[in-house]
Chains A and B, each alone.
Chain A
Amino acid sequence: MALRWPRIGLLDPVLRSWPLLFLLLGLLAVRMSKGAGLNDLYALLSRPFWPGSAQSEWLRRAQSVGDRLRLEQLEQENRRLRGLLGLSNRPGRGLSAPVISRDPAGWWQQLLLGRGSLHGIQAGDAVLGPGGLIGSIASVTPATASVRLLTDPGSRVGVWLGRSRHSGLLSGIGTARPVLRFLEKDPDARPGDVVYTSPASTLVPPNLPVGVIQTIDEAADPAPEALVQLSAPVDSVDWVQVLRP
């Protein structure tokens, strides 16, 4: 038995042309979605004819140059502001130096570098490994420099947290992870927070990455303490950068 459309007066022709109606609705959806589906289809079909990676590389390089210029501008601005505040303002010119001896776990936790006072290194200069600060120059000879690592019990560096901007003192305790002692009762710190050198520090350049908070002891007295995993691998670093004033 054939299916017959019910007669509903004026709506009858409209109901009879339902395929056209669906098509119209589809086109309307495409129009409203600004070409969704259509563009994707075109992208899929035209993928073999897309431009090569050369222009993409140029764009990336341009982006990198732009970032560098922006960074230089920000550094200049930062120096100017630090100058206004009367804080240490060392530009930190870097000098690469090879590690010729290492003792990261003894009574004196230190590295010996193959560059010394003849190359312009002075006691107190900050030493960076790949990833962040690893220590400071403790003593120099004409051809060598001794680095006191951040893990050495005699090492004390002012730091702050990148997220919460709370300050503390990073103290070596003889183990691979130095302890960060906060100066406030509620430092708003949590594991994973990145630790930087303090902008108020007069011993090391400001805002150098140091490490990441691993665990926090909220119950420590008189203020919370955190163990910090250093960013730079002290055990395996072969070349370091000495930041000269």
Chain B
Amino acid sequence: MNELFTLRPMAVLTALLVPLLTLAAPAWLRLAGIGPAWAVLWLLPWAMAEGRRAGLCGALGLGLLLDSLHPGPVTLLPGLLLLGWWWGRLGRRRGMLRHSLSLGLLALVGTALLNLSLLLQWLLQSFHAQGAMPSLAEGMASISPLLHQAGPPAAILALPVWERSSLLAVGGTLLLAQTLLTALLAPWLCSLQLLLWRHLGAGIRAVPAASPR
């Protein structure tokens, strides 16, 4: 845990880059208008290098930072926490993954899971908001032919949530584009960060061992 605190300034500095890059993602680094999942590109090497606890801490901090950029009740936290825990466990169990391709595949799965967690939340919100209302409207329309002629009640149309049909269509495109882009960037960016954390971590871990002499 002490090692984690020693690494913290560098981790905080690099983690702060994630929301900044999310905001400043240039148009040429977008696929179908969608940028890469910078959170995944930071969290993957950090969690794999530092373990499960550091992964969870990183995911929590990053999730809180990124959630502040977006309105609405949907949050990135569940997806990021799951990924932080999973990648931390994976890094500790199997040691450092050296193959860039493996990092790319992990980033691919991670981005897909992160987007699926968002999609699921939108879907739940949509069910929660729209679940009872259409049946209520149908009931009202069946009672009164006048209401049926008048069109849909404005209160139903005004629900500010994703609709299920557009959620699945648009969400699918969004998921595919971001997953592909992140997986393409991960081998380079994650390898470099993994080397950085490994180098810094090794230096810090070496200091207490050398000091008693």
Q: Complex formed: what's the CA distance from A15 to B74 in Å? A: 99
Question: Is B98 interfacial (CB 8 A cutoff)?
Answer: no
Given A106-B35, A107-B174: A185 and B71 interface contact (C-beta under 8 Å): no
Q: Chain B residue with minimal CB distance to A174?
A: B170
Question: Is A146 interfacial (CB 8 A cutoff)?
Answer: yes
The residue from B23, B137, B154 contacting A169, defined by CB atoms under 8 A apart = B154
Given A101-B24, A222-B141: A181 and B157 interface contact (C-beta under 8 Å): yes
Q: Please, which residues of chain A bring their CB within 8 A of the CB of B141?
A: 222
**Closest-CB distance, A100 to chain B (whole angstroms):** 8
Q: Which of A193-235 contact B (CB under 8 A)?
A: 222-223, 235
Per-position 1/0 for B159-178, Cβ under 8 A of A: 01111001100110010000
Q: Chain A residue with minimal CB distance to B74?
A: A107
Q: Chain A residue with minimal CB distance to B160?
A: A154
Given A174-B166, A185-B149, A222-B141: A138 and B158 interface contact (C-beta under 8 Å): no
Q: State how many residues of chain A have any CB contact under 8 Å with chain B.
A: 31
Q: Complex formed: what's the CA distance from A100 to B20 in Å? A: 11
Per-position 1/0 for A128-159, Cβ under 8 A of B: 00000000001100000010100001111000
Question: Is A160 interfacial (CB 8 A cutoff)?
Answer: no
- Indicate if the CB atoms of B71 and A153 lie closer than 8 Å: no
**Closest-CB distance, A209 to chain B (whole angstroms):** 22
- Indicate if the CB atoms of A153 and B163 lie closer than 8 Å: yes
Q: Chain B residue with minimal CB distance to A175?
A: B170
Question: Is A116 interfacial (CB 8 A cutoff)?
Answer: no
Question: Is A173 interfacial (CB 8 A cutoff)?
Answer: yes
- Indicate if the CB atoms of A156 and B151 lie closer than 8 Å: no
Q: Please, which residues of chain A bring their CB within 8 A of the CB of B160?
A: 153-156
Q: Chain A residue with minimal CB distance to B76?
A: A107
**8 further interface pairs, Cβ-Cβ under 8 Å (given A105-B32, A107-B118, A155-B160):** A105-B33, A106-B33, A112-B23, A138-B71, A156-B160, A169-B154, A185-B151, A223-B151
The 4 closest A-B pairs by CB, nearest first: A105-B33, A174-B170, A223-B151, A173-B166
Residue contacts A-B, CB under 8 angstroms, 18 given? A100-B23, A101-B24, A104-B33, A105-B34, A106-B35, A107-B70, A107-B118, A107-B171, A112-B23, A148-B71, A153-B122, A153-B166, A173-B162, A173-B163, A174-B162, A174-B170, A183-B157, A184-B151
